[in-house]
Amino acid sequence: MMETLTPWQRFWDRKHRIYASERHREFHYRRIAEDIIAELPHAEAILLDYGCGEALQAERISRFCGRLVLCEAAPSVRQGLVARFGSNQRIVVLAASDLGQLSASTVDLAIMNSVTQYMSADEFDHVVAKLRLLLRYDGRLIVGDVVPPGGAIVGDVASLLRTSIEGGFVIAAIWSLVATLFSPYRKLRRKVGLSTYTEAEIKARLARAGFHVERRNRNFGFHRGRATYVATRTR
């Protein structure tokens, strides 16, 4: 049966130019990996990365946990994950629709990084409810890179330029910003938009799903204008 993808999932399923260069792409995934590894509770933890994207650093992350489950909705991205990591017995690749294959109350840490902005509020609630069932009673869900209301493109531009200075790809970043003006991403962002949440809103949604929530002192990744929340099961 052919999967039904949302407009944003279809975007990620095709080739895109979100990253200014290969150096930017690798730099991004390396920072995300460092953030994930820092949150792992122990060396045998079962980690679920929901909406993992290309997960370039999955091999490295898998060395710090007992099992890494990569969950991705975009079929072409998922095929790439299988091709790269299929031989690693610590890594499992699943479609978002296959989460039911996992046993309840077995996951130590679930990550949703830079995902909430690309799903509706109802979709977010649905996914969070499923993830909660998979978490152990002391398990945690980390929701990262949440876009606040008014999170304008100017903030994204500033974040990219700061990151390019740190990562050494300034020229590529400038060319990327010019290309973005005419890109499918910009057109889709204007047409469909991004889901945004205040701190109070995201905490309230997670609390209704059965979590106690605290804001992380630093966002996952590089964007200073966005936020990451750590949610722990309350029942």
Provide the CATH number for the domain around residue 111: 3.40.50.150
Residues 142 and 231 sit within 8 Å (Cβ to Cβ) = yes
Tell me the pLDDT band of 1, cut-offs 50, 70 and 90.
Answer: very low
Task: Report pLDDT digits (tens) over 111-166.
Answer: 999 999 999 999 999 999 999 999 999 999 999 999 999 866 778 888 888 888 88
35 inside domain:
yes
Tell me the pLDDT band of 36, cut-offs 50, 70 and 90.
Answer: very high
When divided into structural domains, the chain yields a total of: 1
- Taking the whole predicted model, whether its pTM rises above 0.75 is answered as yes
2 inside domain:
no
Where are the alpha helices (H) located in the chain, listed in sequence order?
A: 7-13, 22-39, 58-62, 75-85, 121-134, 153-167, 170-180, 184-191, 199-208
3-state secondary structure of 46: strand
Summary mean pLDDT of the chain? 92
12 inside domain:
yes
| Least confident interval from 37-41, 96-100, 112-116, 178-182 | 178-182
183 inside domain:
yes
3-state secondary structure of 146: strand
Residue 15 belongs to domain spanning: 7-233
1 inside domain:
no
Task: Report pLDDT digits (tens) over 47-95.
Answer: 999 999 999 999 999 999 999 999 999 999 999 999 999 999 999 999 9
